[in-house]
Amino acid sequence: MKNYKNILFDLDGTLINPKEGITNSVKYALEYFGIKVKTTEELYKFIGPPLRESFSQYYRFNEKDTEMAITKYREYFKEKGVFQNVLYKGVPELLNKLVSENKNLIIATSKAEVFAKQILDNLDISKYFSFICGSTLDGTRSKKGEVIQYILSSTNLNPEDSVMIGDKSHDIIGAKQTKLDSIGVLYGYGNYTELQNAGATYIVKNITELQAQLLAN
């Protein structure tokens, strides 16, 4: 195990459980189109990937309808969904421990950056991160690889000293595209097969295992 200096964290499904905020926002957007979902669980697939990709893929929306769906999603999210997030147990302790060990922590999320910053502030964990990077509202930076590349170009991090942590294949693929090692976590919304097939460098079951990996020498 490398002694990584820079640790990039995904947000949804890795540090926070965003289930309520995201699924309620998607329901609100779909209702605009007269679409009703049978169960909340069928919307879990929206947790992680960029919204444009998800609305297009899962509901076959054209470009115009996709943009409208995102507009309606954000209409709900900025008023209510942004407050409907819960920290995973042990996350504040993990972040505090990593910072005490002089690790440089960064957020790399496909969530809109403005919302990511608000959520981190609401949950009182912004203080642990030296850099917070998310997607742009106009969609010009939404895929995880694009987010990580922006971080690398903005901070001059050495990819060899850095690792990306996330719960979905998008996180692992983005890390590979930018030549970073990756750690897949199984307590979020992905699964072992997904993370393994994407090429995760390591896979951990829980926060305790994650901390052990990150502080191993």
Kindly list the catalytic residues. 10
How is residue 12 annotated by DSSP?
A: B
| Max CA separation in the chain (angstroms) | 54
**Cα 113 to Cα 127: distance, rounded to the nearest angstrom:** 16
Positions of E strands within the chain: 6-9, 16-17, 86-87, 104-112, 131-135, 162-166, 181-185, 202-204
Q: Letter for the amino acid at 204?
A: V
Cβ–Cβ under 8 Å, residues 185 and 166: yes
Euclidean distance between CA atoms 77 and 73, whole angstroms? 6
Lookup result for tokens 């926060």:
207
Dihedrals phi, psi of 86, to nearest 5 degrees:
-130, 130
